[in-house]
Amino acid sequence: MFIIDAHLDLSMNALEWNRDLTRPLAELNQREEGLNDKPDRAKAVVSLPELRKGNIGLVVATQIGRYVAPNNPLPGWHSPEQAWAQTQGQVAWYKAMEDAGEMIQVNDLPSLEKHLASWNDGQPTDKKPIGYILSLEGADSFVTVQHLERAYNYGLRAVGPAHYGPGRYAQGTDATGYMGAKGKELLKEMERLNVILDATHLCDDSFWEALDNFNGHVWASHNNCRALVNHNRQYSDEMIKALIDRGAVIGAALDAWMMVPGWVRGQSTPKGMNCNLEVMVDHIDHICQIAGNALHIGMGSDLDGAFGREQCPYDLETIADLQKVPALLKKRGYTDADIDNMMHGNWLRFLRKAWA
Element (H, E) at 7: strand 3-8
Question: What is 286-304 written as a DSSP string?
Answer: HHHHHHTSSSSEEE---TT
Assign 96 to helix, strand or coil.
helix
Element (H, E) at 57: strand 56-63
Looking at residue 328, its pLDDT comes to: 98
Its pTM stands at 0.98
**Domain range enclosing 327:** 3-354
Which residues of the chain fall below pLDDT 70?
Answer: none
Looking at residue 105, its pLDDT comes to: 98
Query: How many distinct structural domains can be found in the chain?
Result: 1
pLDDT tens-place string over residues 262-286: 999 989 999 999 999 999 999 999 9
Looking at residue 20, its pLDDT comes to: 98
CA dihedral over 297, 301, 305, 309, signed as positive or negative:
positive
Point out which residues pair with 220 in neighbouring strands.
250
Looking at residue 237, its pLDDT comes to: 98
Question: Is residue 67 within 8 Å of 77, Cβ to Cβ?
Answer: yes
pLDDT tens-place string over residues 192-237: 999 999 999 999 999 999 999 999 999 999 999 999 999 999 999 9
Nearest Cα neighbor of 40 from 319, 355, 310 is 310
The CATH code of the domain that includes 198 is 3.20.20.140
